[in-house]
Structure formats: structure tokens, C-alpha cells
């Protein structure tokens, strides 16, 4: 810790003096398939390293599949963020809002990059005060969080084999992708159900594949296999259709692609178009906005689940902190991917079977491997 006296804090405000933007491409050990195609063969992330005037350094990261998105920071934001206090998260977001609105005429296009900046600021705050981020967010309510394991679209035999192996590792909820071929979906879920104990629940994710009428029929067919929930059955913008499904579904409906912002959250739950919100720090713009969204979801008496698109270690740690402070555990979280060749950490996050252990070290509680960060740096097109 660099020091936390009142005099030191008020005189400097822990000001940002440097922002390093490091796009990385980490190969994956494999891919998984969903109805709209295969996942990437690499994890395209951007790591942001922020240094303050007192030498405290924090890290954030987010998936940036649009490879030039990282240039938003260097081209538009670095100049307006240098000099800001690392404790002024609201002010930093307001500055990003102003620039993003000027450049794109609306917000949320830059959510992944602003999420990486936001994450780094919380990391700095925790390191400076020598406390974990979950202390800054209200205090952790659990030491570990339950995760769900993902089964992609494949043959029934492959799905059954994966499901059996995941249950042996301790997973009690398996996520199965559906939507491309209903007969194949039925065969795949039947095979998984036959391969695992009846106490194991299956979450299906249609990734927007169905319209409302088809979704109701499909869910009724799949329900026999012991569903925990159905994720994103309809197009993200079809709140009327989602509400139709919610009224008729025998299991809870989770929204993912539909929910990016605080405004989305209000619109979705006011329309009774979901039972559960699936939140990613990257798509929602950071820890600060995710906490605001989570409070609104709680206000509607609905549930949460967290995840990210095959996260690396910094992002995974941030999600663990945010999930740990929620008043209720929510649904198991999609934070159990093991596809990345490396997580960019000196030591990976600890796991206990299907549970991710919440870090307790200062800041995000992880140490970034600078050698690996440089090794996986994206060289550009």
C-alpha cells in the first residue's frame, strides 16, 4: 500500500498519470458451438494498466472482439482521463459518457473499454487502501460462488460425455446450447439427462433462436429433462415476445443479449419480460454500472447470474467480487470456462469443484503476469 493518510488522499486524490492499453490475443484450447456458429479460436481481450501519481497500479480487462476498439482509449479518452482521481469513478464515467456521446451520438458502444478502465480504478482503490474490492462494494456475503459448466452444440454422445465429466468435477448445473435443430436438441438433452443424476439441473440457452410462439412450444418439450432455466429464447429487442414466454414458461427465463444497460434493465423488468438478469461487467460498462443494475434487479425482486465471454483472469476476479457481494447467491454463474491457454495471472484463481473462490487480496486480489501480457500482446493486422 502506498499510504492512506487523510493528508495524502486530499492532496493528490490518487491521480491517474498514465494509461497503458494492451490488446492481447490468447489462443484457446478448443471451441464450443451454438446455434449461430462456433466460438472464437482465440480470446481477443484488451488489458488496461493504469498508474497513479503515488505509484499505485491497477489492471482491468474486457473482451474486444472488434479488434480496433482498444484505440478508443488512445484516440479519444486518455487525454480526458489523465489527471482524474482513481476514487472518482462516477466522474470518470461521466467524462467517458461525454466523449462517447460526442463521437458516436449515443452511449454503450464503448462499454467493453470503459469496463476495463472502471475495473482498473477499483483495483487501484483496493490496493491503495489494502482491502479487497468486495470491501469497497459493501462486503462479501459468501466466500465462494457456484458456477455452471457449458456444453456446446455437438452430437448427443459428445454432450453426454461432457456432462458426465463435468458432474464428476462437482458441477450441479450444466448449460446446454439449443436452437439450431429441435430434434437434435431433444436427443442431446435426453443423452445428457441419461448420463447424469436426476439432481443435476440443465440450463438451456437458445441465443435468440426462437420467436415467442416457437419458444413456448420448445420449452414445453425440453422441460421434461429437468430444466433449471431457459436463457434468451427470443430476439433481444422483442420484449413483448419475451413477456409472452415468461407468462407461459414452466421454468424461469434469463435475459442476456437483451440486457446491456440500466435502461435495458428497467424496460425489461417493467415489461415483465424476464425472471433473471445475466450480467457481464464487459457489456454493462464496468463494476460501477453493474452494481447499479444489480440494485435495480433486486428492486424488482428478480434474480441475477453473472458471466463473461470466456474471460481471462483479471475479468474473472472482478466478476467474483461483484457476485460475492450480492444479497442473495442468485443462479450459478457462467464463470467456469477453461479454454484459454493462459489467464495472464501469476497464480490462477482458486476453485473448489464447481465453486470459484473469491479473492481476498488487495484490489482484485490477483497478480498480473507481465511476461505473459507481453507475450500475448496483439501485434495488429
- 228 vs 268: CA distance, rounded Å: 21
Lateral strand order in the sheet of 149-151: 149-151, 173-177, 201-205, 227-231, 253-255, 276-279, 303-306
Provide, rounded to the nearest whole percent, the portion of the chain with pLDDT above 70: 95
Name, in order, each residue with C-beta under 8 angstroms of 143's C-beta and a sequence gap of 6 or more.
Answer: 324, 357, 358
Residues 180, 184, 186, 191: is their CA dihedral positive or negative?
A: negative
Q: In the prediction, which pLDDT does 7 show?
A: 34
Say which CATH superfamily domain 6-131 falls into: Enolase-like, N-terminal domain (3.30.390.10)
Q: Quick one: which of 288, 272, 328, 281 has its CA closest to 304?
A: 328
Residues 77, 24, 44, 268: is their CA dihedral positive or negative?
A: negative
For cell 498519470, the residue is 17
Q: In the prediction, which pLDDT does 6 show?
A: 41
Distance of CA 250 to the CA centre of its chain: 26
Where in the chain are all domains bearing CATH 3.20.20.120? 136-364
Name, in order, each residue with C-beta under 8 angstroms of 169's C-beta and a sequence gap of 6 or more.
Answer: 149, 353, 354
Give pTM, 2 decimals: 0.94
Grid coordinates belonging to 33: 458451438
Is domain 136-364 classified as CATH 3.20.20.120?
Answer: yes
Cα Dmax for the chain: 68
For residue 28, the 8-state DSSP code is B
Residues of the chain with pLDDT under 70: 1-12, 32-36
For cell 489492471, the residue is 59
Residues in the chain: 381
Q: In the prediction, which pLDDT does 131 show?
A: 98
Where in the chain are all domains bearing CATH 3.30.390.10? 6-131
Cα–Cα separations (whole angstroms), residue 316 to 160, 191, 270, 334:
27, 31, 30, 10
Amino acid at each position: 500500500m502506498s499510504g492512506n493518510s487523510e493528508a495524502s488522499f486530499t492532496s493528490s486524490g490518487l491521480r491517474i498519470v498514465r494509461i497503458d492499453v494492451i490488446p492481447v490475443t490468447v489462443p484457446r484450447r478448443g471451441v464450443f458451438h451454438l446455434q449461430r456458429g462456433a466460438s472464437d479460436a482465440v480470446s481477443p481481450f484488451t488489458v488496461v494498466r493504469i498508474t497513479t501519481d503515488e505509484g499505485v497500479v491497477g489492471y482491468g480487462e474486457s473482451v474486444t472482439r472488434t479488434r480496433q476498439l482498444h484505440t478508443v482509449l488512445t484516440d479519444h479518452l486518455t487525454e480526458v482521463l489523465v489527471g482524474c482521481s482513481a476514487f472518482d469513478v462516477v466522474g470518470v464515467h461521466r467524462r467517458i459518457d461525454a466523449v462517447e456521446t460526442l463521437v458516436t451520438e449515443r452511449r454503450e458502444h464503448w462499454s467493453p473499454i470503459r469496463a476495463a478502465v472502471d475495473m482498473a480504478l477499483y483495483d487501484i482503490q483496493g490496493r491503495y487502501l489494502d482491502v479487497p474490492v468486495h470491501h469497497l462494494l459493501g462486503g462479501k456475503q459468501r466466500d465462494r460462488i457456484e458456477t455452471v459448466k457449458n456444453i456446446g452444440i455437438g452430437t448427443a454422445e459428445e454432450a453426454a460425455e461432457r456432462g458426465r465429466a463435468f458432474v464428476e468435477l462437482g458441477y450441479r448445473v450444466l448449460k446446454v446450447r439449443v436452437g439450431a435443430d429441435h430434434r437434435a436438441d431433444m436427443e442431446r438433452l435426453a443423452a445428457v439427462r441419461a448420463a447424469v443424476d436426476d439432481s443435476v439441473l440443465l440450463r438451456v440457452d437458445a441465443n435468440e433462436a426462437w420467436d415467442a410462439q416457437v419458444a413456448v412450444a420448445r420449452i414445453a418439450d425440453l422441460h421434461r429433462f429437468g430444466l433449471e432455466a431457459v436463457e434468451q429464447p427470443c430476439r433481444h429487442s422483442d420484449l413483448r415476445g419475451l413477456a409472452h414466454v415468461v407468462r407461459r414458461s414452466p421454468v424461469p427465463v434469463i435475459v442476456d443479449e437483451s440486457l446491456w444497460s440500466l435502461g435495458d434493465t428497467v424496460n425489461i423488468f417493467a415489461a415483465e419480460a424476464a425472471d433473471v438478469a445475466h450480467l457481464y461487467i464487459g457489456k454493462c460498462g464496468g463494476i460501477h454500472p453493474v452494481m447499479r443494475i444489480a440494485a435495480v434487479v433486486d428492486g424488482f425482486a428478480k434474480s441475477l447470474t453473472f458471466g463473461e465471454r470466456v474471460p481471462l483472469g483479471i475479468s474473472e476476479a472482478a466478476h467474483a467480487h461483484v457476485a460475492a457481494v450480492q444479497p442473495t447467491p442468485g443462479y450459478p454463474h457462467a464463470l467456469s470456462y477453461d479454454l484459454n491457454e493462459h489467464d495472464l495471472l501469476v497464480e490462477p484463481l482458486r476453485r473448489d469443484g464447481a465453486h470459484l473462490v473469491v479473492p481476498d487480496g488487495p484490489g482484485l486480489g490477483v497478480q498480473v503476469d507481465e511476461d505473459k501480457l507481453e507475450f500475448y500482446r496483439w501485434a495488429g493486422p
